[in-house]
Amino acid sequence: MASDVLVLVEHIDSELTDTSYELVGKAKDLAGGWNGEAVALALGSVDTSELAADRVLKMAHPSLDNYTPEAWLEALHAVVQERDPKLVLIANSTVGMDLGAGLSGRWGKPIAAYASAITGEDQDVVVTSQVFGGKLLAEAVIDGGQGVCTVIAGSFPGEAGKGGGATVEDLTPPAALGESRTSFVTTIEPEGGDVDITESPLLVSIGRGIESEDNIELAQEFADAIGAAVSASRPITDAGWLPKTRQVGKSGMKVKPKAYLTFGISGAPEHLEGMRDSDLIVACNIDENAPIFDIAHFGTTTDLFDLLPALTEKVK
């Protein structure tokens, strides 16, 4: 086993994701402790010049240009077999959901998913993972000190992964890439035309606690009164009560408004991932143990059906 930490970087429109830099920064930190290298693996066409890894491995092949789980797993597994890294870091994104457990099964090494912290204790890898909807953290050791870790976005600073200076190596794609049973058809881009919640300095954000589509009006009235846009957590857009473009979180938009006011959002990790960097967070939820209060600056357990009309009234 080598002492390297390998990061699978991700990209959208040939640009690296923020999480890719976060993971490379963490990889440098960990690999330093094990006297190994921080190695970034870039599949398909992407500009990696800003990555501060020790080494960047690039692999190009027609079947890697548009992401498919099968081709990417084939490529990732081939590189892992060849280089035998101590630890493989992948974002807990759609790609990470596909490839983290996929690589664990294929490689025969453990995986710790939903990681928010990773430390080296001598040769041991100790991972802190969010479980049970973020209500608990699990501290786990990867047996044998070698495995895979999928990491929640925003867990580590991205700056440490920036600066460039990596040695770049071009890799030969594995032959099996030509035999994929999965083919890419098309990409569906976000629908335009709706309010852009990433641009709004004030967001009134609603969750399951709003209870019904009709009640959204209460939030809309308050939002209108203060010049805010209405955003939501996943259950609201899944129900079709608001368009998908209003969804904040891992599978929705990442927002960073001056004020993020939540009503009836409990604060699942997937939601927090999309709004934790807001300047001011005020949360309203009747459950005093809701995880949202761990990230909010101010909170209240007042019933939202009393609070929203009171707020609207006072601003008017």
- Binders of another protein among 180-219, rule CB under 8 A? 180-191, 201-202
Pick the closer one to another protein by CB: 37 or 110.
110
Tell me the window of 20-28, 56-64, 80-88, 128-136 that interacts with another protein (CB under 8 A). Answer: 128-136
Question: DSSP characters for 212-244?
Answer: SGGGHHHHHHHHHHHT-EEEE-HHHHHTTSS-G
**Is 47 among the residues that bind another protein (CB under 8 A)?**
no
Tell me the window of 39-47, 54-62, 111-119, 209-217 that interacts with another protein (CB under 8 A). Answer: 111-119
Residues 51-90 touching another protein, rule: CB under 8 A, are 66-70
Query: Which of 306, 213, 195, 301 lies closest to 257 in space, CA to CA?
Result: 195
144 conformational bin, left if phi > 0, alpha if psi -120 to 50, beta if neither: left
Number of residues that bind another protein (CB under 8 A): 95
Residues 247-276 touching another protein, rule: CB under 8 A, are 247, 250-254, 258-259, 261
Pick the closer one to another protein by CB: 110 or 161.
110
Which uninterrupted H or E stretch holds 97?
Answer: helix 94-107
CA distance 16 to 11: 4
Alpha-carbon 67 to chain mean position: 17
Residue of the chain from 1, 84, 239, 277 that contacts another protein (CB under 8 A):
239
Pick the closer one to another protein by CB: 14 or 66.
66
CA distance 108 to 111: 9
Tell me the window of 36-44, 50-58, 80-88, 300-308 that interacts with another protein (CB under 8 A). Answer: 300-308
Least CB distance to another protein at residue 238 (A): 6
Residue type at 121 in one-letter notation:
E
Tell me the window of 26-34, 80-88, 207-215, 288-296 that interacts with another protein (CB under 8 A). Answer: 288-296
**Is 123 among the residues that bind another protein (CB under 8 A)?**
no
**Which token pair is 262?**
């939540």
Residue of the chain from 47, 84, 139, 277 that contacts another protein (CB under 8 A):
139
CA distance 238 to 207: 11
Contact 118, 127 (CB under 8 A): yes
Q: Are strands 11-12 and 15-16 parallel, antiparallel or unpaired?
A: antiparallel
Residues 148-177 touching another protein, rule: CB under 8 A, are 148, 150
Pick the closer one to another protein by CB: 163 or 302.
302
Instruction: List Cβ neighbours of 313 (8 Å cut-off, separation of 6 or more).
Output: none
Tokens 């190695």 locate to 39
